[in-house]
Chains A and B, each alone.
Chain A
């Protein structure tokens, strides 16, 4: 009994991967053909940026603050406290900033898209759109995926910036390091090799958030219960996918570093 349930779950997982790949393929096939839903795309960009901005800023600031506070005693013990800006800068820009911002947005945006599209499906709004001569896939799915793909890197940049400010604040208070000195040290430690892979990775994170949110919502079933399920599973699936993408991105950029 348990084995058959496990088999079913594995089967369902692979079916979902297949359907998700189909959705991604349909996005690339349809998304770049006119007519473009430019107004709706801008509305989605505004909604998504606006919806997550405060959360991203607060989370980023606290991450910068906590990381610095917790690393200080260890670095002091090894006499390496002057390396703090380098360590914090690199870890935030290369890994923590993109991953944490993406996770925060997965909770906020992917669940929002899942619930919104799910309820539109249940209340026949998607059918009404189709009857009105609109391709609902282009209007709802393509615009949302494009908006998340474009907005996430911007949110990551803002998140990274406030995280570095949080860190600089601690250094300013505890180590009497000026903001100018701190940021000089951070930027001298960072290279294009840190910035470019992190930015490219952020685009993929944004794409994954939009794709999974839309997939769960647009194809939601089981009536109103399906709406809640769509929102919930969108977050779980996106978070998992983000770590897989992160692993692949780190693996690939590591190859380039070695070259």
Chain B
């Protein structure tokens, strides 16, 4: 398996043509940046969709100028129709979950930095890697294409519950071609992520340089490794699920449609399928997906924090074991999405216990972070602020999980805004904070220029306060019984909640708008930022010891590095100050050695 000397099997010469250098590149760094670019485009679309939804939820009859340009049928007179709201909602969620929260923290940063942190010159299967991106990109195009088919994208939500999703156009607008394109897009996406996961796992296991034992990998690399193991199994279940769904549409099968359904007074020509089968397949993927979105963030945030705490975590290994436990347990808890689905009520209890138990590794991770802050010398910068913000968001989103883990309390909160608040904080906002922390931290290495710190801090403050202003009230709405996925609140008891929705809308518009600061900072710094040194944060891991910044095509020049230390030798008196790089052969008596 691993001979601790690095492999040269992946060697591919530096391309000279524009196409091979920037478009169909085999270089993991370029592929990482491509993934980041895709995520950036996707998040902008997703955010604009959320604005449109929020405006509609606050002021249902408000005519949004120009909306009819997006869809003449969906917004006659610029006022959103009920079905168009659901279509935008479905696209918002699908784009965000798949093409932002999975691609940015995992595929983008992981591609760029996993091989470098492991001390490899590239991934073992560069062609697979290139395919992984372009397949994912194709999946994105297929999804966006559904905006342009006759009755628009699907309205079935990102969960696409059958039989609504499997019946075809009779189910409603977007339930024909919209669903087929959705399922095709996701199936393609799964292929891309499977290829990526294979590469990540092999890079971690087989491509490490001399001296780089598994325990010497930084926590970010561990995050990506654990995530890729999850990706390999989770996407492998969703993909056949999507294929079966497509077959129900185009091949006359009835995997997810039972007999005797009547729509528009017409008995449907299906029989023998199971609606719960889709839910099982979907959530067997769906719950690990939550961790696929957040575990890379945990790794990135730990990595960023350590550098800014100037000390390693209380325990490197406990963090790794906890992240691994989250990964394993994430497969045993998926039934908590189905407590009131008609699944056997005994199963609800069986799924409830592991769901409650998963709070233990999560708590360990948080306590290790908190314990590591103790006695540190925290450097405050945009990256560390977002990393600390991540901890706060993860806690806030995590504690609401207690309610949803129990079937009895879930009766009151299932399908309400409480759930929406919970997953937005713990997986949406927290993961976004991980992406921001990673961006501010690694941008200098990726582009050779520093990002503007002042703008970064303004961006943090506005986003931090804004995100809480948006998502905390979601929990209150849920407690009051406000059902999610409603385009208007016509039930008598929901009408008093509309002012709170309007407050949320204003907060969402503000928080979305301040992202322009980030975008400006990103683009401006790319071209006009202050030149970065090779190691601007005085960090220890391998990405900071590349011969040039950005790293050369083969990452480390002619010879692969040799590693002599654990990844986080901070708080020691080395020749370079309070830290010793992994590549430095000097002896270290670390005050933080693990037993």
A and B co-occur in one complex: no
A-side residues, CB < 8 A to B, are none
**CB within 8 Å of A: which residues of B?**
none
